[in-house]
C-alpha cells in the first residue's frame, strides 16, 4: 500500500481536563500516514489526481483550531473521521502528541489506525 504522510504538523488547540488547560492554547503535534494509491497521480503528474496533503493539513488546522475537547483520544478520533470521510484515503495512522503534558517526557498522546468501511 502506498502512503502519503504529514509529519510534525503543529496546531494550537484548547485541550485538556484541568482548569489551567482550559485557559491556554497548547501546541499539539500531528503525524499522519494515509493509504492512497499513488500510481494514477504518478502517471498523470497532475495534482488533481493525488491526495493533496496541503488540503488535508489546512482542514485539520481549521478543525483543531476551533475544537474544545477534554481528551486527545476524542480529538484524534474526530480528526481521523474527517480525513477518511473528506479525502480519498482508504487507511489512516494518526499520531497525536501533546508535548510537555507530563514532566520528564518529551510528549504523550495516542496513535490510532482506522480504515474506511468497505461496502
The tens digit of pLDDT for each residue in 58-102 reads 999 999 999 999 999 999 999 999 999 999 899 999 999 999 888
**Boundaries of domain holding 55:** 3-115
Query: pTM value?
Result: 0.92
* Other beta carbons less than 10 A from residue 72's beta carbon: 19
Q: How far apart are CA 35 and CA 5, in angstroms?
A: 9
| Vertex 107: Cα angle to 103 and 112 (nearest 5) | 140
CB 26 within 8 A of CB 12: yes
Tally of domains in the chain: 1
Average pLDDT over the chain reads 93
With residue 119 as reference, give the H or E element that holds it.
none
Q: Is 98 a catalytic residue?
A: yes
If pLDDT is split at 50, 70 and 90, which confidence band does 18 have?
A: confident
Per-residue pLDDT at 100? 85
Whichever domain contains 33, its CATH number is 3.30.1130.10
Active-site option among 3, 54, 58, 98: 98
Provide the pLDDT confidence category of residue 116 given band limits of 50, 70 and 90: confident
Position 44 scores a pLDDT of: 95
Task: Fill in the DSSP letter of residue 87.
Answer: S
Amino acid at each position: 500500500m502506498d502512503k502519503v504522510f504529514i509529519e510534525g504538523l503543529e496546531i494550537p488547540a484548547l485541550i485538556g481536563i484541568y482548569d489551567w488547560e482550559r485557559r491556554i492554547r497548547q501546541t499539539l503535534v500531528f503525524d499522519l500516514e494515509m493509504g492512497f494509491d499513488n500510481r494514477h497521480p504518478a502517471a498523470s503528474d497532475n495534482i488533481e489526481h493525488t491526495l493533496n496533503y496541503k488540503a488535508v493539513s489546512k482542514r485539520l488546522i481549521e478543525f483543531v483550531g476551533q475544537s474544545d475537547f477534554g481528551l486527545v483520544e476524542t480529538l484524534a478520533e474526530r480528526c481521523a473521521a474527517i480525513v477518511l470521510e473528506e479525502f480519498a484515503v482508504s487507511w489512516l495512522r494518526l499520531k497525536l502528541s501533546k508535548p510537555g503534558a507530563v514532566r520528564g517526557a518529551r510528549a504523550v498522546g495516542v496513535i490510532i489506525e482506522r480504515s474506511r468501511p468497505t461496502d
